[in-house]
Amino acid sequence: MIRIAGYDPVLRDVLLELSIRAWEPVFPLVKADVSPFVYRAFYPEGWRTRQRSDLSEVLDKEPETVDVALDGERPVGWVSTRLHLEDNMSEVYVIVVDPEFQQRGVGRMLLEQSFQRARDAGAAMVMVETGDDTGHAPARAAYESIGFERWPVARYFKDLSV
């Protein structure tokens, strides 16, 4: 039975490895879909290095924002919820589900936990951001299936070395 618990720093390394495993199929598709200079700019040392660094920062500096899905004592997913109360909203900043547990409701449980954090803080809405590339198509479909509405944003990059 899956349960949601607050983050315990003893889980840090397990959550980082779980995240890399979960995103392993995504990043080759991202790389194929975006301009090579943009990919190199974001991931000069590789996506794994960047992701470990970014996620370590969340776990180390914002542990109070993190909730973990546990199957018994085994972490199978996690979510980080940032509050932006000046905009009356929260943000699902990170959400990860172990590949073995995807399509089994774990992501929805984590999102519901994030939504409850937002409600408890007085937020009126929640935002989540993801890529528009092929690798992130399952995430977009999942968010839309539970009522997220897409906000039309265009982000442009220019290579200054040419």
Per-residue pLDDT band at 73 (split at 50, 70, 90): very high
Q: What is the mean predicted confidence (pLDDT) over 1-9?
A: 96
The tokens for 92 are 């699902």
Distance CA 56, CA 37 (A): 25
pLDDT of residue 157 exceeding 90: no
Name the residue with tokens 């972490």: 75
Q: Which amino acid, 127?
A: M
> How high does pLDDT run on average in the chain?
94
Distance CA 143, CA 91 (A): 13
CATH H-level superfamily of 2-145? Gcn5-related N-acetyltransferase (GNAT) (3.40.630.30)
Q: Where are the chain's structural domains?
A: 2-145
Distance CA 28, CA 134 (A): 10
At 112-122, the pLDDT tens digits run 999 999 999 99
Check residue 46 and give its pLDDT: 94
Q: What is the mean predicted confidence (pLDDT) over 122-142?
A: 92
